[in-house]
Structure 1
């Protein structure tokens, strides 16, 4: 299993990914990148002169809302895994559009009934 230490994400294969921050995030389109901005839920124990650790929760999220947020992110990661299994890591079809729907590789022309790829070869 992957491990994150000192801003280095080490995969079980031994490959290392150096990060600027300390987290990896996934977007609705299933693209992966660094996403550390502790503006939804974070700890305040890193502030100088702070004598007591606490939690910063500016949106006052309830436990149920935090669980929903976690489930949302877990589902995105599960969708990415399913798409990699289905399409392979080299296919852009592993990503979804911002709507969350799988993009189509070709679109048909209403006049000719041919896809853009078919039109290019005609």
Structure 2
């Protein structure tokens, strides 16, 4: 299973991808990239950006139910991407959803 350590995405195949941010993200079109700003819900971090300091940032005052909704939305996008990769492969533009 993939993991991110010290801003490096490590895949089970041994391939590594250096990240500029601290996460990967998926858009509504099913394109993936780096998620740079943890600006919706995040843990306060120390100078090494990996160890939580005990603070939580929730600038939009999201409730647990709203966080579940956001998680479900993102999970659905990732599952749609997996389904489309199985159906269309890596080289077919149909893999991606048209953006709204």
TM-score by length of 1: 0.73
Q: Is the 8 A contact 2:20 2:36 kept in 1?
A: no
Deviation at 1:38, TM superposition (A): 1.4
Deviation at 1:44, TM superposition (A): 2.0
TM-score by length of 2: 0.89
Partner of 1:120: none
Question: After superposition, where does 1:31-110 map in structure 2 within 5 Å?
Answer: 31-46=31-46, 53-99=54-100
Count, aligned residues: 95
User: Structure 1 runs of 4+ off > 4 angstroms?
Assistant: none
Deviation at 1:97, TM superposition (A): 1.0
Deviation at 1:59, TM superposition (A): 0.6
Query: Could you say which structure has the higher strand fraction?
Result: 2
Higher relative contact order (CA 8 A, sep 6+): 2
C-alpha RMSD of the superposition: 1.3
Q: Is the 8 A contact 2:9 2:19 kept in 1?
A: yes
Which of these two proteins has the greater Rg computed from alpha carbons? Answer: 1
